[in-house]
Structure 1
Amino acid sequence: MKFERSTCHPCHYHILIFIIFQLLRGNESQAFPGYSINVSSHVTVQRGLCVYIPCSFTVPTTETLTGNAVGIWYKWRNTPVASNNRRFSSNGRFFLIGDVQRGDCSLYIENPLYEDQGSYYFRVEDNIRFNYQKIMPFIEVTGLTDKPDISPMRSWLDGEEVTLSCTSPGTCRGITPKIIWKGNTKDLEGENYVINHTNGTKTHFSNITFTANKAQNNSILSCTVQLEGILTTKQEITIGIGYPPGPPEIHCSIISENSDERSNKDCAMDANNTIHSLEGSRLSLSCSADSIPESSLVWKYFNETKAHKLIFDKLSLANDGLYTCQATNIHGTSNTSVTIKIRYPPRPPKVKCFIIIKHSNNNKECAMDANNTIYIPEGSGLSLSCSADSVPESSMVWKSSNETKTLSTTDKLILHNLSLTNEGLYTCHATNLHGTSNISVAFKITYGPKIANGTISSCWKVQNQLVCNCLFESFPCSDLQWKINGVPVNISNHRNNNVSIFTETSNSVTNSTLTLKVNMEESQHIQCVASNQHGELVQVLLIEIASSMFPAASIYIGCFVILLIVIGALILLVVYKKRQNIQQKESSRQTHVSVTDPIYGNAEMFSNGSTEVGQIPQKDQPPPQEMLSEVNDDDDVQYMSVDFSKLKPKVATEEQETEYAAIKQTN
């Protein structure tokens, strides 16, 4: 390489002589009028290429060039290099291509050597002979620097058919270059073409065709042109294969508490592109897409558009939904959607209540008050349904009030024929892998008035007063009405000269006492009536008092004793038989007799229907009127009678007398 560069420059003294010679010839045109030449004074040509040097000359008007005119180009020191006459030698690289007769001295140089560098002048020979040395073009020979031209220079779309052309530098007449393609393509065999121009020059180029593939993006493609000998020149380009964005890839990570990205953990997506994340977590969501040129990335959700990275400081149900990453470049658009599904422990359960209606599929919905208490008629069936909002879905369990007994392992609890023993708390537990929640409901059984278990309503006499006690239980509390001889007495605590009433209620049991001044010569008819929306209970206390019985009680007794003694054994036998009959009758009526009392109580219990006797319930407040269900029970009526006419006379003592009355319950 050093040797070539040393030979491409003329010796310094040659240049100096050329400059002095040009200065000495400065007045040539004045010395030889009519002779002139028009040509470039300095021409550069590259090794292996060619150059066309336009040139024209004139002769005096008195002279006319003929068809035999000869033009010769000489290298300085009178060495001919090109001529239109074969008499003159040519170096095979310089060619006189102009029409000398027309004053055209154009010179064509092809594939020059470094030794061809120097000054040249033109000479014409005809009927005249003249050297044109006013302008002596200096031919400079340089190394090959021009490169092939690859076109078109642009990017292509993945899958697009591409045709590239490589054009050899120069348009030389006698040089046929060899064009070679190299690169990351399957087909590198180009097709060579030649374009012939009218001036005799030629353009050589080669085409290759291939299908663009994104794997070729940023790969190098070269075109090498091999000229005469070992001269080569090469052009390289970087192939740009563009393609639209593919489906964006979603990146999800759970942000650590210390906000150190290195501590973040990737969160997983299922096959449906769903991210399950716990409520309250911190989440980072980003996306990327493979494309050329690079795509712009945005997130679209809930009619909003935001940058390609989303940060959720505290996930809540408001963040639950579909998020779409959209990637866009000049070649197209693509998107990928992901669903964020918030997981959370069960919310406080909700309970629905239905009263089961026998022989019907349409159960009646029942209500609960603010304290989650359900009021249900005795004997009814009940269906409870429990639900809790949670993700994932919760499992449901019903337990009794003491939490020791599991009543149901589903969301439903069904109870039939409810009674007072079913009262209490029932708890629904909702559980998933994130937590537990529960709700408790209370049952309160409603029922009509009935005789309280282990109690008896009765009347008894204290001196000239009749005292009656009425006992019953019900929920809600019943209205109480006392009736004397069919006339109602105010239910409220009442006192006057003849009647006093005192009523109290405790734990659903009502105890009312009626005190009445009586005239022994009159009969009294006492009723205790209790009622609520579930039924009515009537207890009838019938007191029959003979008008002459109490004033002559001792006389009747003495008479009976005397008659018994006089009549003798016969009367004793008759009395004995009567007593047997009375005892049999009393035994059939289940009579409780005290032989020490002056008055014998006879009681028979009758009922127009079955009477349930249960434990006394705990004290509670009645429910609102609108929340109680109706129960169609027959009215219960209890009757009591005391018959003084069948009493056996007996001498009364001066002690305080107490009369007892037993309840008689009849249909």
Structure 2
Amino acid sequence: MSFQRNAAVQRGAHTLPENLMLLKKQGKHKKRQKILQTLKQRSVEKRREKLDKTRKACPVEGGSEHFRHQIRMFVLIWVTVCFFLRGSADAKGSSVWGTTKCQTNNYCVTLHDGTITAEAGLCAVISCSFTAAFTPTHIIWYKCDPLKTKCEDSVFDSNMDNDKVQSGFKGRISLLEPDVSKKNCSIIISDLKESDSGLYQLRVEETNVPTEAFTYTVSRASLSVTGLTQKPTVVIPPLTEGQESTLTCTAPGLCSGSQPKITWTWRKGGKDSQLTGNITAAKTENLTAVTQRHSSTLTFNLSAEHHGTNITCQVSFEGNTTREETVTLNVNYRRNPQIIGSTTVKEGDLLNLTCRAESFPPSVVTWTNHSVLGIQLYNNTGSATLEISNVTAEASGQYTCTATHLNTTTLAQADVTVIYKRKLQVIGNTTVKKGSDLNLTCSVESSPPSVIKWTKHSAHGIHLHNNTGSAALIISNVTAEDSGQYICTATHQNKNETTQVDVTVTWLSKIQNGSGCFLQSKVLTCVCISEGFPLPTIKWPLLEGHAEYSVIRTVSNNTVSSTVSLNGGNHGNMSVECVSSNGNAEAKQTFMIKQDMSKNDDGPKISSVSWLQVILAFFIGVLLSALFSCLILKYCRKKQKNSGYLDDNVEMISQDNSLVYMLVHLIIIFCFILIAPNI
């Protein structure tokens, strides 16, 4: 038989043996009492040290108070047994366990004061010692029927041949000390039932002498059995994912009664499930000759699946008495951090990223940005959310989520892209000289990079260059045909933006053929012809000192003609310079004056007259002479009229002056012939 530890838990000291034999001599009683307390104190200290070591090695979740009571129960039972083994049968009087009552001087019994309380399924100890005038050979215990005045129902007889013992008590009651001669009548009742409650009475007998028997009616032991309230004790070591672990379930009580049935149940999601790869083993540990500890172990490989689930240990005793203890498994595990949320966001929107690290205990999660300062952004336990409102392009980059679990650190990274686009720009000189290189770069800052395309504005829409983010338009040795409008188109997120540039190719040719200076009749005429774009400006630097000269400028397409005329003076030794410039280039040429070869330098200079000039002068002279003759004739007639001799003198005047008229006409004609070339 074994002790049940839970009997001690429920009612404290009431479940322990408390009666000592009455010592006949007070000196021996005091000495033994002192020795008893010393042994008790030492034993308790040793058990406490052992318990502290057990706690450090195996943490207990639940039932720790029950376990402490169990240890106390074991210690006190052991001390009680030792005391009774060392006790003296001739002691009498009061003891530390109870009150000694005597029916006669030779027949005394010591029982526990008050009622002994215990729980169903466990055990109870009735401490007892007695004195008798004879030496008994066996002990009988009766359970008293409250309806009867005499206790006649035997529940225990140390004489195994006694068939009168009630069947419900057979095998459940035993003596703590089998040697009856030592007068220790303490018994332990195992596999308690609530029907075991009642009064118990002692009787001793001498087997060989029927007359030698005595029933102690002066005192009875009171036992009260209630329903089982104690739970099994489940010991759980530290649990870590991937490791094998063993859980221990210890049945309540330290009794040596029937071995209880211990079962394990794993509850997942509110349903009973089977643990994969588990190993269970039952164990009975004999603590003393009369005490035992019943336990069961469960060994299995841990995973994160077990975290937060419940393990139940159920202990079933005789008489359908069942108790169970449920504990929650806390498994140390961790998962790599995961980042949830969109890493691509438009400029001005909200960036929202959550980093979660599933683990137990919860990991410390930290957000950092990969910058020179390494600024810590957000910190939380188990999960951290990174929020940036009205996000800008500067928020683009790599963000790191760091999860610290116990002494392990894991990382997760997110590359954040902010979608944005700046204004399209064209860099380069749009005005270039003919023969040089045209180099224009069209670019736009954006994310993702924009597709850049160059086209020339013409009837065919010629495609020139295409690139990503930036496109360069390069034309070597440009000509006038390269002038025109060029269009840069940037495509970003299915949207187009265009900008136009006007390219101007500037050029200036040399002074064209047909340019030069000519001197006729003291009139200097110079002509300068030039081409270019933009239109050139023609200047005559050497003529700026002359007071009177005229300039005529004519333009045709890209050609400019400048004619300058200078009157009077001696221009024979002059040189004239023509300067053409359009702001980008300059052309110069010096002209030598060409003279008319028909002029005579010796004597009076008479110009040769062409037939056209002679005919023209003749007709002019005729007209003038006719006009002059008319005027004279008119004058003469008027004079004669005034004198009254008009008719007689007309004929005479005309005859006398005909020769004069002819001479005047010839003189006028000759003068016009001389001056006509100079008009």
Q: Give the TM-score normalised by the residue count of structure 2.
A: 0.59
Q: Give the CA deviation at 1:107.
A: 1.9
- Determine which of 321, 335, 338 is the counterpart of 2:414: 338
Q: What is the aligned-residue identity percentage?
A: 26
| CA displacement 1:594-636 (0-9 Å, x = unmatched) | 99999xxxxxxxxxxxxxxxxxxxxxxxxxxxxxxxxxxxxxx
Are 2:208 and 1:111 equivalent residues in the alignment? no
- Determine which of 235, 256, 263 is the counterpart of 1:173: 256
Residue type of the alignment partner of 1:348:
L
Output aligned runs, 1:418-429, within 5 Å: 418-429=478-489
In 1, Cα distance between the equivalents of 2:412 and 2:103? 87
For residue 120 of structure 1, what is the aligned residue in structure 2? Answer: 200
Q: Give the CA deviation at 1:197.
A: 1.9
Are 2:118 and 1:45 equivalent residues in the alignment? yes
In 1, Cα distance between the equivalents of 2:509 and 2:593? 21
Q: Give the CA deviation at 1:95.
A: 2.7
| CA displacement 1:476-534 (0-9 Å, x = unmatched) | 89897857xxxxx48xx5445xx768799999977766665654595434343557885
Are 2:560 and 1:541 equivalent residues in the alignment? no
In 1, Cα distance between the equivalents of 2:416 and 2:459? 37
Are 2:670 and 1:654 equivalent residues in the alignment? no
**Contact 1:349–1:430 at 8 Å: present in 2 too?**
no
Are 2:327 and 1:243 equivalent residues in the alignment? no
- Determine which of 262, 274, 288 is the counterpart of 1:198: 288
Output aligned runs, 1:127-146, within 5 Å: 136-146=220-230
For residue 34 of structure 2, what is the aligned residue in structure 1? Answer: none
Query: SS where residue 552 of structure 1 aligns?
Result: coil
CA 1:597–1:168 in 2, change beyond 3 Å: closer, same or farther? farther
Output aligned runs, 1:16-31, within 5 Å: none
Q: Give the CA deviation at 1:210.
A: 0.9
Are 2:455 and 1:399 equivalent residues in the alignment? yes
CA 1:198–1:505 in 2, change beyond 3 Å: closer, same or farther? farther
Moved more, 194-203 or 30-39: 30-39
- Determine which of 212, 227, 230 is the counterpart of 2:302: 212
In 2, Cα distance between the equivalents of 1:279 and 1:521? 79
| CA displacement 1:390-411 (0-9 Å, x = unmatched) | 3444333333356863251434
Query: SS where residue 451 of structure 1 aligns?
Result: coil
**Contact 1:120–1:136 at 8 Å: present in 2 too?**
yes
In 2, Cα distance between the equivalents of 1:131 and 1:66? 13
Output aligned runs, 1:215-234, within 5 Å: 215-228=305-318, 230-234=320-324
Output aligned runs, 1:147-158, within 5 Å: 147-152=231-236, 156-158=239-241
Q: Give the CA deviation at 1:195.
A: 0.9
For residue 20 of structure 1, what is the aligned residue in structure 2? Answer: none
Q: Give the CA deviation at 1:48.
A: 3.2
Residue type of the alignment partner of 1:110:
S
In 2, Cα distance between the equivalents of 1:335 and 1:429? 42
**Contact 1:249–1:289 at 8 Å: present in 2 too?**
no
In 1, Cα distance between the equivalents of 2:478 and 2:392? 43
**Contact 1:245–1:295 at 8 Å: present in 2 too?**
no
- Determine which of 395, 403, 411 is the counterpart of 1:319: 395
Are 2:576 and 1:526 equivalent residues in the alignment? yes
**Contact 2:517–2:593 at 8 Å: present in 1 too?**
no
Equivalent residues, number: 489
CA 1:140–1:509 in 2, change beyond 3 Å: closer, same or farther? same
**Contact 1:523–1:545 at 8 Å: present in 2 too?**
no
In 2, Cα distance between the equivalents of 1:557 and 1:651? 14
Q: Give the CA deviation at 1:161.
A: 0.9
**Contact 1:502–1:512 at 8 Å: present in 2 too?**
yes
Q: Give the CA deviation at 1:206.
A: 1.9
Q: Give the CA deviation at 1:138.
A: 0.8
In 1, Cα distance between the equivalents of 2:135 and 2:104? 27
Residue type of the alignment partner of 1:301:
N
Query: Could you say which structure has the higher helix fraction?
Result: 2
| CA displacement 1:185-225 (0-9 Å, x = unmatched) | 02455222221122322222222211123333444433333
| CA displacement 1:412-471 (0-9 Å, x = unmatched) | 54545433343333222222334223343343334455236xx95444558644343434
**Contact 1:494–1:502 at 8 Å: present in 2 too?**
no
Q: Give the CA deviation at 1:159.
A: 2.0
Residue type of the alignment partner of 1:472:
S
Query: SS where residue 394 of structure 2 aligns?
Result: helix
Q: Give the CA deviation at 1:548.
A: 4.9
Query: SS where residue 215 of structure 1 aligns?
Result: helix
**Contact 2:525–2:564 at 8 Å: present in 1 too?**
yes
**Contact 1:46–1:111 at 8 Å: present in 2 too?**
no
Query: SS where residue 318 of structure 1 aligns?
Result: helix
Structure 2 segments unaligned to the other structure (5+ residues):
1-98, 145-149, 267-273, 618-670
Residue type of the alignment partner of 1:306:
Y
Query: SS where residue 230 of structure 2 aligns?
Result: coil
In 2, Cα distance between the equivalents of 1:234 and 1:404? 92
Residue type of the alignment partner of 2:604:
A
Are 2:471 and 1:438 equivalent residues in the alignment? no
Q: Give the CA deviation at 1:27.
A: 11
In 2, Cα distance between the equivalents of 1:462 and 1:135? 175
In 1, Cα distance between the equivalents of 2:554 and 2:245? 104
In 1, Cα distance between the equivalents of 2:601 and 2:311? 143
**Contact 1:494–1:501 at 8 Å: present in 2 too?**
no
**Contact 2:579–2:586 at 8 Å: present in 1 too?**
no
Flag the structure with larger Rg: 2
In 1, Cα distance between the equivalents of 2:502 and 2:197? 118
In 1, Cα distance between the equivalents of 2:446 and 2:195? 95
In 2, Cα distance between the equivalents of 1:337 and 1:595? 110
| CA displacement 1:118-145 (0-9 Å, x = unmatched) | 1224456799987666753211123344
In 1, Cα distance between the equivalents of 2:422 and 2:226? 88
CA 1:84–1:503 in 2, change beyond 3 Å: closer, same or farther? farther
Query: SS where residue 654 of structure 1 aligns?
Result: helix
CA 1:46–1:433 in 2, change beyond 3 Å: closer, same or farther? closer
CA 1:461–1:295 in 2, change beyond 3 Å: closer, same or farther? same
In 2, Cα distance between the equivalents of 1:557 and 1:392? 89
- Determine which of 162, 173, 192 is the counterpart of 1:94: 173
**Contact 2:402–2:410 at 8 Å: present in 1 too?**
yes
Q: Give the CA deviation at 1:175.
A: 1.6
**Contact 1:221–1:238 at 8 Å: present in 2 too?**
yes
Residue type of the alignment partner of 1:47:
A
Query: SS where residue 491 of structure 2 aligns?
Result: strand
Q: Give the CA deviation at 1:346.
A: 6.5
CA 1:481–1:110 in 2, change beyond 3 Å: closer, same or farther? closer
Q: Give the CA deviation at 1:330.
A: 4.6
For residue 242 of structure 2, what is the aligned residue in structure 1? Answer: 159
**Contact 1:194–1:204 at 8 Å: present in 2 too?**
yes
In 2, Cα distance between the equivalents of 1:33 and 1:511? 166
Q: Give the TM-score normalised by the residue count of structure 1.
A: 0.60
In 1, Cα distance between the equivalents of 2:107 and 2:411? 82
CA 1:208–1:397 in 2, change beyond 3 Å: closer, same or farther? closer
CA 1:290–1:550 in 2, change beyond 3 Å: closer, same or farther? farther
Are 2:371 and 1:306 equivalent residues in the alignment? no
Query: SS where residue 339 of structure 1 aligns?
Result: strand
| CA displacement 1:23-82 (0-9 Å, x = unmatched) | xxx99579969956252421123333322333445x6xxx9x886576554444344544
Query: SS where residue 192 of structure 1 aligns?
Result: strand
CA 1:40–1:300 in 2, change beyond 3 Å: closer, same or farther? farther
Query: SS where residue 305 of structure 2 aligns?
Result: helix
For residue 375 of structure 1, what is the aligned residue in structure 2? Answer: 432
**Contact 2:193–2:319 at 8 Å: present in 1 too?**
no
CA 1:655–1:299 in 2, change beyond 3 Å: closer, same or farther? farther
For residue 617 of structure 1, what is the aligned residue in structure 2? Answer: none
